[in-house]
Amino acid sequence: MTEQQTDCIFCNIHSKEIPSAKVYEDEDVYAFLDLSQVTKGHTLIIPKTHSKDIYDTDEEVASRLFSRVPVVANAIKKAFQPSGLNILNNNEEFAGQSVFHLHIHLIPRYDHQDALG
């Protein structure tokens, strides 16, 4: 765990060196739309402290990150009005992690076919 890692894409996103579509921000976390939208409104929440995954994270950083899930979920619900929402976190390549800065996916689900339209 470190404050910021210059070669990390998500560190560069929350510090605004790389542009992103912001959904929510406070002193501890940053939430933004995933570049490849699994469904409309697919959002990632990241801690502003760099941890590569859940194993590399202390209780304080994890509790701050996970405590912000409801506020971001409600922002998504209000903006996109999905029929449901999946919340997930991938750790290590074998489990599908491709960016090695801890993040939580919020994936809205829709009862109609054209959720990406």
Q: Is 55 exposed, middle or buried (0-12, 13-18, 19+ CB in 10 A)?
A: exposed
Single out the catalytic residue among 14, 42, 103, 112.
103
CB 21 within 8 A of CB 36: no
Which residue among 20, 43, 51, 57 contacts ligand 5GP (CB under 6 A)? 20
Question: Which residue in 28, 32, 30 sits closest to 43, CA to CA?
Answer: 32
Task: Please identify which residue in the block is written with the tokens 């912001």.
Answer: 22
In this complex, which beta carbon is closest to Zn ion, that of residue 29 or of residue 115? 29
42 is catalytic: no
Site string for ligand 5GP, 46-85 (x = CB under 6 A): ----------------------------------------
DSSP structure class, residue 83: S
Task: Confirm or reject binding of residue 25 to ligand 5GP (CB under 6 A).
Answer: no
Task: Confirm or reject binding of residue 36 to ligand 5GP (CB under 6 A).
Answer: yes
